[in-house]
Amino acid sequence: MPLEPLFKTRKKEKNKRDLSPLEQLRKGITGNLVRKPLLDEMNKCRCRKITNTPEKVDKVQSLEKKTAAMSDPSVLNNNSTAGTSVPMISPQEMALHSLCKHLLKSRLFRGFYEQRRYVEQVQTYRDIVSLQRTEKDLEKLLRDVSQKLQMFYLSQNQRMWIGVTNSGAIGVSQYPGQTLDIYIWVELDELAFGQYWFTIKTVKFRENEVMLKLKTVRPVEFEIAEKHPLSTRNLSQSVPLIDNSTVTTESQDPSMESSDPPQVSKPVEWKDFQLLFRQWGFSIRGSIYEFLAQDITKKNIKNLLRFLILLSVSLLSAILMTLKFIGIFTIRFMFELSRLTHVLTPTVLKIIDVFNKIIGGFYILLAMIWKDAVVNRGRPQPRNELRYLRYNRPMYKSVTYNIGGEGRRNADDHDNWH
């Protein structure tokens, strides 16, 4: 009977220990500083092999009672008035502190120590460190931590100064184009302005300030090239192509001839081109390395693959829809074209017939004119045979009447002729 709550509490404590600091911040399950020694002792008791001895059960119950008594606000107030200084920190704030330290501790980065300014919120001076432009991951992490701290202390302590700001707090950077838009306000030892390698030791949470504690690892050393980069344009302008003989420059002012030493121009050799090609190779290699270091990341590759997949799907769908619309348009166009052809066929045939008749009549007219003008040109015209009537035709013969059968036969013949 008394062992069941013991197993339950042991399971709860184990689940609490397995949670990350961020989950502890969300659920608010981190213990108070006052109860920490008692909870450690309880965990030690619970981690041992549990037996049915009543002495161990009584010991665990007494420890739970002491923990409940210590978590009482009245007890904490009495302890504070009695002289024991116990910091009043909520479990959420403790989890936030541990989360910030866990995320930022032991981070190595490259930055510029730019200047030192006075901060009114803390009434002291702070050193300003900016991040080098390749430290994008740390910039994102610092912005996330700063936003979480500002959201938390907005209701707890509005006077809290967070030592991570953007360029709006200091203005223009002294290293334009080489730094990111984020600045860290810290306390550094006597250090000269310049570029250094830093590491984050811890995060300090004071009464009115949240500050990162940095450790200077070493300064960043740059190799200064003794020779300036050469180019074909500079070579053609500065070094003329001449023979190996020395040529002295002619000056228009005779007074300058005695003061200026004679300048000897050197011819362009193969070594100059080798140096030029070598410098080009170094610059190309540096740009490729910077591109691979900054842009070829896991997130960018994932976004690129996602973009390519979406692009291919969109192109495929666009092609299918285009083919669909082209097919529908072609079918409708053929249908309407067949209807138009069916309707216009009689009209077109009539128009063709009209033009055929017009052109045929025109050719017939030309043929008749050609016949009258060419064919009948030398022939005599026929006589006009119809100028008078010939009355000697049978139809104009007189009718005779014979008496008897002959006369009747002649009458019948005449009727038959008619």
Q: How many domains does the chain have?
A: 3
Q: How far apart are CA 324 and CA 322, in angstroms?
A: 5
The pTM assigned to this predicted structure is: 0.37
Q: What residues pair up with 110 in beta bridges, in sequence order?
A: 197
Q: Are residues 119 and 184 in the same domain?
A: yes
- pLDDT band for position 198 (cuts 50, 70, 90): very high
Whether residue 156 contacts residue 97, with contact meaning beta carbons closer than 8 Å, is answered with no
Task: Look at residue 34 in the predicted model and tell me its pLDDT.
Answer: 40
Q: Residue 113 sits in which domain range?
A: 105-219
Q: Within a domain: residue 380?
A: no
Q: How far apart are CA 164 and CA 193, in angstroms?
A: 19
Task: Look at residue 181 in the predicted model and tell me its pLDDT.
Answer: 85
Q: How far apart are CA 254 and CA 383, in angstroms?
A: 128
Q: Within a domain: residue 361?
A: no
- CA separation, residue 243 to residues 40, 262, 349 (Å): 90, 17, 91
Q: Are residues 170 and 244 in the same domain?
A: no
Between 252 and 106, the higher pLDDT residue: 106
Task: Look at residue 158 in the predicted model and tell me its pLDDT.
Answer: 79
Q: Are residues 109 and 210 in the same domain?
A: yes
Q: Within a domain: residue 398?
A: no
3-state secondary structure at position 367: helix
Task: Look at residue 353 in the predicted model and tell me its pLDDT.
Answer: 94
Closest CA to 32 of 1, 72, 65: 72
Q: Within a domain: residue 147?
A: yes
Q: Within a domain: residue 15?
A: yes
Q: How far apart are CA 293 and CA 54, in angstroms?
A: 64
117-167 pLDDT per residue, tens: 888 888 889 999 999 888 888 989 999 998 888 888 888 787 888 889 887
Q: Within a domain: residue 321?
A: no
| Residue that is last in its domain, among 169, 189, 219 | 219
Q: Tokens 């900016």 sit at which residue?
A: 130
Q: Within a domain: residue 301?
A: no
Q: Within a domain: residue 177?
A: yes
pLDDT above 50: residue 81: no
- pLDDT band for position 294 (cuts 50, 70, 90): confident
What is residue 223's DSSP assignment? Answer: -
Task: Look at residue 321 in the predicted model and tell me its pLDDT.
Answer: 96
3-state secondary structure at position 205: strand
372-405 pLDDT per residue, tens: 777 666 666 655 555 555 555 565 555 555 555 5
Q: Are residues 208 and 118 in the same domain?
A: yes
3-state secondary structure at position 246: coil
Q: Beta 194-205 vs 209-219: how paired, if at all? A: antiparallel
Q: Are residues 81 and 126 in the same domain?
A: no
Quote the mean pLDDT of the chain.
Answer: 72
